[in-house]
C-alpha cells in the first residue's frame, strides 16, 4: 500500500473509498472492520472449546484457563498505567479505541480478574456506559446493564 496501490483503478473498483481493509466475498466487497469481522464470524461458528486452538490436550487447556485472569490483568494493567492518558484512551479526544476498550473490559468479570487496581479502566467503562449511543446498542442487543459499566459480562446474545 506504500506505493499507493489502493488508489489504482482496479482497487477503486473493489473499494471506491480507496483504503483498506477490504475483503472480497461472494456477496461483494466488505470495506469496514465491523462488517468484515461479522462476516468471518458467520463463516466459522465456534466449534472448539474456548482455548482449544492453543491447547491440544485437556491438561494443557486447563493450564491455559488457569492463566486467563493473570494474562487479562497484565494486559489491563498496561492500559491502566500507560495507554489511558486522559479522559479518553488517547487523551482528551474520543477515538475508536474508546469504543473497543469497554468491549474488552466486559470480559474482566467473566474471566474473574481482580479489578481493584484498574480504576482508570473502570472509570472509562462507566463513562462509556453513560453515552446514549452505547445505551442504545446495549438495549438493541438485549445486553442488560450490570450497574457498574457496560452491560453484564456473559449476558451477550450468542
Domains and CATH numbers, the chain: 5-43 (3.40.30.10), 67-141 (1.20.1050.10)
pLDDT at 117: 92
Integer Cα distance of 140 and 145 in angstroms: 12
Spatial separation of the C-alpha atoms in residues 32 and 35, rounded to whole Å? 6
* CB-CB neighbours of 16 under 10 Å: 10
Q: pTM above the 0.75 mark?
A: no
pLDDT recorded at residue 48: 55
- Write out pLDDT tens, residues 56-114: 788 887 888 888 899 899 889 988 887 666 788 888 888 888 888 988 888 898 889 99
| Sequence-ordered strand ranges (E) for the chain | 23-25, 28-30
Mean pLDDT of 23-41: 83
What pLDDT score was predicted for residue 154?
39
The Cα–Cα gap between 123 and 130 comes to 11
The region of weakest confidence among 19-28, 40-49, 97-106 is 40-49
- The predicted model gives 39-61 an average pLDDT of 71
Amino acid at each position: 500500500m506504500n506505493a499507493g496501490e489502493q488508489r489504482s483503478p482496479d482497487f477503486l473498483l473493489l473499494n471506491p473509498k480507496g483504503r483498506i481493509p477490504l475483503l472480497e466475498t461472494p456477496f461483494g466487497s466488505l470495506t469496514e472492520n465491523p462488517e468484515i469481522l461479522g462476516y468471518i464470524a458467520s463463516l466459522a461458528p465456534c466449534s472448539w472449546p474456548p482455548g482449544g486452538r492453543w491447547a491440544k490436550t485437556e491438561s494443557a487447556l486447563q493450564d491455559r484457563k488457569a492463566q486467563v485472569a493473570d494474562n487479562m490483568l497484565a494486559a489491563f494493567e498496561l492500559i491502566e498505567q500507560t495507554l489511558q492518558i486522559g479522559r479518553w484512551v488517547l487523551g482528551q479526544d474520543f477515538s475508536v479505541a474508546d469504543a473497543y476498550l469497554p468491549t474488552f473490559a466486559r470480559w474482566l468479570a467473566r474471566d474473574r480478574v481482580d479489578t481493584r487496581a484498574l480504576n482508570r479502566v473502570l472509570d472509562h467503562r462507566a463513562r462509556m456506559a453513560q453515552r446514549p449511543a452505547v445505551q442504545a446498542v446495549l438495549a438493541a442487543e438485549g445486553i442488560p446493564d450490570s450497574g457498574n459499566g457496560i452491560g453484564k459480562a456473559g449476558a451477550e446474545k450468542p
